[in-house]
Amino acid sequence: MKVLLTGGAGFIGRHVHHQLLAEGHEVTVLDSFRPDVHADRPEPRPDLIVGDVRDPRTFDGIDTVIHLAAKVGLGVSLDDIDDYVSSNSLGMAVLLKSLGSIRNLVYASSMVVYGEGRYDCDDHGHVAPGPRRTEDLDAGRFEPPCPYCGAPLRPGLVTEDAVPDPRNAYAASKLNGEHLAATWARETGGRVTALRFHNVYGPGMPRNTPYAGVAAIFRSALERGETPRVFEDGRQRRDFVHVRDIATAVTMAASALPRQPAFTAYNVGSGTVTTIGQIAAELCRAYDAPPPIVTGDYRLGDVRHITASSDRIRHELGWKPSYDLSAGVADLVASGTD
């Protein structure tokens, strides 16, 4: 394939770029090198376009586009809602308009489009909890109750047919990108695969930028000689997936596009539920440091549990992760400061 890879200089993008080249594909990278993420801005070269996806352009000789470029982060403040919409929603719209005759697109979406994960009540079955209340969080009641009877809920795995419920600006912009891409596919006869990534970690994780996730935050604390501080009670459920496994999922999805329907969404995770406390403890052990501190603090925009089933991509594309948490953390620590 001749691939255009947007965001190819980023954390995930560099690993996808490496995987594409290893598989023998021709790759052109488009990256804006945002100054809040990248310290250096290289000169353009034949296989690198230094530019913003929001700038209209034409792409000659490209078979497939892999769209990773985005403003990511928590998105819990309205102060930067316009930047999320501009970078992600407008960026997707301009990119789609620029595709011309290209008909194959892989889009990096996110599990955040679901909001809270799946919950079941013993009396009311599958329910969608409402936003968590400040008074509950202040009192240390972190688990969302049944919206009908107030009883405790059982968290479970979200499947791709769940109704999205984005709960911050970033999540809303990623879901909007899916909707725009699906509209493009219907109108052009194109094919889109949206990959809803879980919590991605691994070598090259950004630190001290808006892209830094919880694993990167914990790792940076340990390298400063500090003990990681875990919010709430540390029992928030997540799925941490190694970046090299993400890269193989992306390239497999790209290769499969000609056989896919107009729009397909896949969850991409390790398949193992891990709590925030567990990832912090695993990193502490790897650094031979004291156990993490569980603070009881919270951020109102955070969801309690979000883990999803990745069975669909395993069954339909034959993808499966290669790293469990222990091996992935060991690889991360061995990578040093790259």
Sign of the Cα pseudo-torsion (221, 222, 225, 229, in order): positive
Residue 208 pLDDT level (bands cut at 50, 70, 90): low
Determine which of 21-25, 65-69, 109-113, 298-302 has the lowest per-residue pLDDT on average: 298-302
Residue environment code for 68-91, b if the CB has 16+ CB neighbours within 10 A, otherwise e: bbbbbbbbbeeebeeebbebbbbb
Quick check: is 323 in a domain? yes
Q: Identify the bridge partners of residue 119 per DSSP, sorted by sequence position.
A: 127, 155
Quick check: is 63 in a domain? yes
For the cut 70, the answer to whether the pLDDT of residue 209 exceeds it is no
For the cut 70, the answer to whether the pLDDT of residue 337 exceeds it is no
Quick check: is 127 in a domain? no
Residue 311 has which token pair?
Answer: 């069975």
Q: Which domain holds residue 169?
A: 2-118+156-335
Could you report the per-residue pLDDT of 271-323, keeping only the tens digit for each? 999 999 999 999 999 999 999 999 999 988 788 999 999 999 999 999 999 99
The pLDDT value given to residue 124: 97
Residue 332 has which token pair?
Answer: 């991360």
Quick check: is 226 in a domain? yes
Quick check: is 146 in a domain? no
Q: 333 in helix, strand or coil?
A: helix
CATH number at residue 39: 3.40.50.720
The pLDDT value given to residue 39: 66
Residue 73 pLDDT level (bands cut at 50, 70, 90): confident
Q: Report the pLDDT averaged over residues 204-209.
A: 73
pTM for this entry: 0.94
Quick check: is 280 in a domain? yes
The pLDDT value given to residue 16: 98
């009192």: which residue's tokens?
Answer: 139
Could you report the per-residue pLDDT of 9-55, keeping only the tens digit for each? 999 999 999 999 999 999 999 999 887 677 677 777 889 999 999 99
Q: How far apart are CA 199 and CA 163, in angstroms?
A: 20
Yes or no: say if 181 and 113 are a contact pair by the CB < 8 Å rule.
Answer: no
The pLDDT value given to residue 299: 87
Our count of domains for the chain comes to 1
The pLDDT value given to residue 212: 58
Quick check: is 136 in a domain? no
- 75 Cβ neighbours under 8 A, 6+ residues apart: 81, 84, 168, 169, 170, 171, 172, 173, 301
Could you report the per-residue pLDDT of 147-180, keeping only the tens digit for each? 999 999 999 999 999 999 998 899 999 999 999 9
For the cut 80, the answer to whether the pLDDT of residue 102 exceeds it is yes
Q: Report the pLDDT averaged over residues 242-255.
A: 98
The pLDDT value given to residue 300: 81
Quick check: is 133 in a domain? no
